[in-house]
């Protein structure tokens, strides 16, 4: 299972990639594999302020629907509109084209509380 | 192997029956504005083609009349054929008939309501909702009306559901305009009481629970939960999907629940699957009774009547009287078994689930929340096996699969509910098949099924581009 080292992770299988004063958020390779074929993504509204752990998006697959949580508190500044037509990008390229939203954290230092690649790997092993 | 639609069998002008010309004509009886302008597109086939078509379809079906059907949380028990005969007795009734000429039907509804109230420990009931999720929506709208009536409609905006809940619970709460908050399960698979305490407060309208829960475990701290709810002014909602486990033994009303919905098509043998029709009566405690939908069946001095005079009612939720013939079947079931019979059915449902759970454990399956199983349990295949492949493989071995990938808190979940109507030998044969699947080559599993009318369907395309009618109507 692919876990890039350039970003942060949550126990709920989101990744957060810092870019300037924003972070890009998506779901991990493990998460997309567990969900199966994604058929629909409900995106948040741009400008919405969210708390850490708040459900901000929904990914629906042929198996189930799953909430996507904000990894840190902040404001939604951009969403991946491509997912409206091609939600399968989440399956095809979970760490790249399949990103879900861009968040402007209220404090970039909040990211330090998240897991690194090694920490996330350990979460997966403990869940197996 | 393709099987044509009835429309594809149609040939212009072909007839099964020659109809006598209608006298008088439709035009003489129905105002012009209500007459259709184009004739309906009905398939035109001869009688034998028609018989072969539907007989052929029925032979390609998997159902409880052909196959063990352990679909978790769906209670696919046997639907006694006697109930069909009973329902037929009412087939000529018309819902617009004067209630004075339909006293038998009203009496049946009234009696069924009394039985269901007695079984659930509730004070009042509506039989109107047409399915479980419909019952849920009705129940939550009743709770909403109650809070609004007390001036708390604007402050109580949250509904709590456990993370093991049926998906319809959060969906219902959202539909009724509530914000949904998830309460985690503890390591024993029951609601985490401390987490629940943290979520409770004057902003919460209701907690939705099913007991036993979707792991098939009885929530042993339910009295504590209901006490906490009551203290916080929160209404406790019982999702009756799993009532089969406790029917006649324990009553939601005694556990402290304020609202209950029942699935007559699960617990009370009304046939379901393939579109129903279902029936989802909603029972409430006295403080919620004023908000029940209208009309309610009531008994007065002159007989039974429909009570519309309920000013605080949330209104109608369904035309006429719900799915009436489903009510007849449920009534027949309760009358046939009586309370001792219903209790025995529940006990056997639990016994069957526990026996099958042990058999599957012997075959190499794991049961992650292995508590005192009630009517169903959630198993996991050994490492490396996918629930979906096992489900498809089961079809090849002649069984309907269990529910898969639910509840969400168990990975590769196989949710098995055998029900009380299965014989010991059937459970054993199913366990053998489950064991055999683990011995099959991976490649065989990944490509199963082989001999079913269709093999693996393109679920992705079916979801993204559903084609719901035969006719292309843009």
Q: Answer whether A54 touches B (CB < 8 Å).
A: no
Instruction: Find the DSSP H helices in A1-128.
Output: 29-35, 82-85, 89-92, 117-127
Residue A53: phi and psi, rounded to 5, are: 85, 0
What is the token pair recorded at A51?
A: 């708390």
Q: Would you place residue A106 in the very low, low, confident or very high pLDDT band (cuts 50, 70, 90)?
A: very high
Residue B373 distance to chain A (closest CA, Å): 23
Query: How would you classify the pairing of strands B259-261 and B235-239?
Result: parallel
Measure the CA–CA gap between A113 and B399, rounded to whole angstroms. 48
Query: How would you classify the pairing of strands B158-162 and B204-209?
Result: parallel
Is residue A2, in this structure, part of any structural domain at all? no
Q: For B17, which DSSP code?
A: S
Q: Answer whether B469 touches A (CB < 8 Å).
A: no
Is residue A41, in this structure, part of any structural domain at all? yes
At residue A63, the pLDDT reads: 82
Spell out the long-range contacts of B179-188 with Cβ–Cβ below 8 A and sequence spacing 24 or more: B183/B207, B185/B213, B185/B215, B185/B409, B188/B217, B188/B369, B188/B371
Block residue for tokens 């629970």: B209
Domains of chain B plus CATH, in order, are: 1-60 (no CATH), 81-336 (3.40.640.10), 340-460 (3.90.1150.10)
pLDDT at A128 over 70: no
At residue B292, the pLDDT reads: 98
The number of beta carbons lying within 10 Å of the beta carbon of residue B174 is 13
What CATH number did the domain enclosing A33 receive? 2.40.50.100
Q: Given an 8 Å threshold on Cβ–Cβ distance, is B408 in contact with A66?
A: yes
At residue B275, the pLDDT reads: 59
Measure the CA–CA gap between B445 and B316, rounded to whole angstroms. 49
What is the token pair recorded at B68?
A: 């063990």
Is residue A54, in this structure, part of any structural domain at all? yes
Q: Given an 8 Å threshold on Cβ–Cβ distance, is B459 in contact with A65?
A: no
At residue B464, the pLDDT reads: 81
Q: Answer whether A46 touches B (CB < 8 Å).
A: no
Query: What is the ipTM for the molecules in this complex?
Result: 0.70
Q: Is B151 helix (H, G, I), strand (E, B) or coil?
A: coil
How many CA within 13 A on the CB side of residue B284? 23
Identify from A11, A35, A37, A84 which residue to disrupt to test chain B contact, counting B C-beta atoms within 10 A and taking the largest count: A37
Q: Given an 8 Å threshold on Cβ–Cβ distance, is B460 in contact with A37?
A: yes
Put the strands of the sheet holding B414-416 in their side by side order.
B377-379, B414-416, B403-404
Q: For B320, which DSSP code?
A: B
- Closest C-alpha to B109, from B122, B98, B96, B125: B125
Per-residue pLDDT tens digits for A14-73: 999 999 999 999 999 999 998 989 999 999 999 999 999 999 999 999 888 889 999 999
Q: Given an 8 Å threshold on Cβ–Cβ distance, is A40 in contact with B463?
A: yes
At residue B21, the pLDDT reads: 74
Q: What residues pair up with B239 in beta bridges, in sequence order?
A: B261
The number of folded domains in chain A is 1
Is residue A3, in this structure, part of any structural domain at all? no
What is the token pair recorded at B172?
A: 């219902």
Measure the CA–CA gap between B351 and B418, rounded to whole angstroms. 10
At residue B473, the pLDDT reads: 60
Average pLDDT, 10 consecutive residues per value, chain B (474 residues): 88 86 81 90 94 93 92 95 94 92 97 98 98 97 98 97 93 96 93 97 98 96 98 98 96 98 97 82 98 96 94 96 95 97 98 98 96 96 95 96 91 96 98 98 96 88 83 64
Is residue A68, in this structure, part of any structural domain at all? yes
Q: Alpha-carbon torsion B187, B190, B193, B195, what sign?
A: positive
Share of chain A above pLDDT 90, in %: 87
Q: For A93, which DSSP code?
A: -
Whether residue B247 contacts residue B342, with contact meaning beta carbons closer than 8 Å, is answered with: yes
Q: What is the largest CA-CA distance in chain A?
A: 37
SS (H, E, C) B49-83: HHHHHHHHHHHCCCCCCCCCCCECCCCCCCCCHHH
Tell me the CA distances in angstroms from B264 to A106, B44, B71, one per residue in order. 51, 37, 16
Measure the CA–CA gap between B345 and B268, rounded to whole angstroms. 11
Q: Answer whether A49 touches B (CB < 8 Å).
A: no
Is residue A14, in this structure, part of any structural domain at all? yes
Share of chain A above pLDDT 70, in %: 99
Q: Answer whether B411 touches A (CB < 8 Å).
A: yes
Per-residue pLDDT tens digits for A84-100: 999 999 999 999 999 99
What is the token pair recorded at B42?
A: 């009905």
Q: Answer whether B464 touches A (CB < 8 Å).
A: yes
Domain that holds residue A46: 8-127
Q: Is B205 helix (H, G, I), strand (E, B) or coil?
A: strand
Instruction: Collect all residues of chain B within an 8 Å Cβ-Cβ radius of residue A89.
Output: none
């Amino acid at each position: 299972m692919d876990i890039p080292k350039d970003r942060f992770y949550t126990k709920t299988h989101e990744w957060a990639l810092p870019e300037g004063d924003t972070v890009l958020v998506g779901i991990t390779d493990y998460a997309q594999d567990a969900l199966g074929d994604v058929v629909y993504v409900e995106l948040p509204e741009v400008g919405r302020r969210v708390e850490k752990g708040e459900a901000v998006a929904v990914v629906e697959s042929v198996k189930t629907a799953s909430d996507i949580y904000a990894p840190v508190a902040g404001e939604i500044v951009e969403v991946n509109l491509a997912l409206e037509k091609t939600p399968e990008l989440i399956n095809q390229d979970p760490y790249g084209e399949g990103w879900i939203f861009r968040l402007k954290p209220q404090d970039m230092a909040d990211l330090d509380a998240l897991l690194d690649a090694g920490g996330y790997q350990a979460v997966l092993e403990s869940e197996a | 192997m393709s099987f044509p639609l009835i429309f594809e069998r149609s040939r212009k002008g072909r007839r099964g029956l020659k109809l006598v010309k209608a006298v008088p004509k439709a035009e003489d009886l129905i105002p012009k504005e209500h007459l259709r302008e184009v004739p309906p597109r009905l398939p035109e086939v001869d009688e034998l083609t028609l018989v072969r078509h539907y007989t052929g379809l029925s032979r390609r079906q998997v159902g409880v009349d052909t196959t063990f059907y352990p679909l978790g949380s769906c209670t696919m028990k046997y639907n006694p054929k006697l109930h069909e005969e009973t329902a037929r007795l009412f087939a000529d009734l018309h819902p617009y008939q004067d209630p004075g000429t339909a006293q038998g039907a009203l009496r049946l509804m009234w009696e069924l309501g009394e039985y269901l109230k007695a079984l659930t420990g509730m004070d009042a009931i509506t039989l109107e909702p047409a399915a479980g999720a419909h019952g849920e929506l009705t129940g939550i709208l009743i709770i909403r009306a109650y809070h609004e009536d007390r001036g708390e409609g604007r402050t109580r905006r949250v509904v709590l559901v456990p993370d093991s809940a049926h998906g319809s619970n959060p969906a219902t709460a959202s539909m009724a305009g509530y914000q949904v908050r998830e309460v985690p399960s503890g390591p024993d698979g029951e609601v985490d009481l401390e987490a629940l305490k943290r979520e409770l407060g004057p902003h919460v309208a209701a907690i939705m629970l099913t007991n036993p829960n979707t792991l098939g475990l009885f929530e042993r701290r339910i009295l504590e939960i209901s006490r906490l709810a009551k203290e916080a002014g929160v209404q406790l909602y019982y999702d009756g999907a799993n009532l089969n486990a406790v029917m006649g033994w324990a009553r939601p009303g005694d556990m402290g629940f304020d609202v209950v919905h029942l699935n007559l098509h699960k617990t009370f043998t009304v046939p379901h699957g393939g579109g129903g029709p279902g029936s989802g009566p909603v029972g409430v405690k006295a403080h919620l009774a004023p908000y029940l939908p209208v009309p309610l069946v009531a008994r007065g001095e002159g007989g039974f009547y429909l009570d519309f005079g309920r000013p605080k009612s949330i209104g109608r939720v369904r035309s006429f009287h719900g799915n009436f013939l489903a009510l007849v079947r449920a009534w027949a079931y309760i009358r046939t078994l009586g309370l001792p019979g219903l209790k025995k059915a529940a006990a056997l449902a639990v016994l069957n689930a526990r026996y099958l759970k042990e058999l599957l454990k012997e075959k190499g399956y794991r049961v992650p929340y292995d508590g005192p199983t009630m009517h169903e349990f959630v198993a996991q295949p050994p490492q490396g096996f996918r629930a979906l492949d096992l489900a498809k493989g089961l079809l090849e071995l002649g069984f309907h699969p269990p529910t898969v990938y639910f509840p969400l808190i168990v990975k590769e979940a196989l949710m098995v509910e055998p029900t009380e109507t299965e014989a010991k030998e059937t459970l054993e044969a199913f366990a053998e098949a489950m064991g055999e699947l683990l011995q099959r080559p991976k490649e065989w599993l990944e490509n199963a099924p082989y001999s079913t009318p269709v093999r693996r369907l393109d679920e992705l395309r079916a979801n993204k581009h559903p084609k719901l009618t035969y006719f292309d109507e843009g």
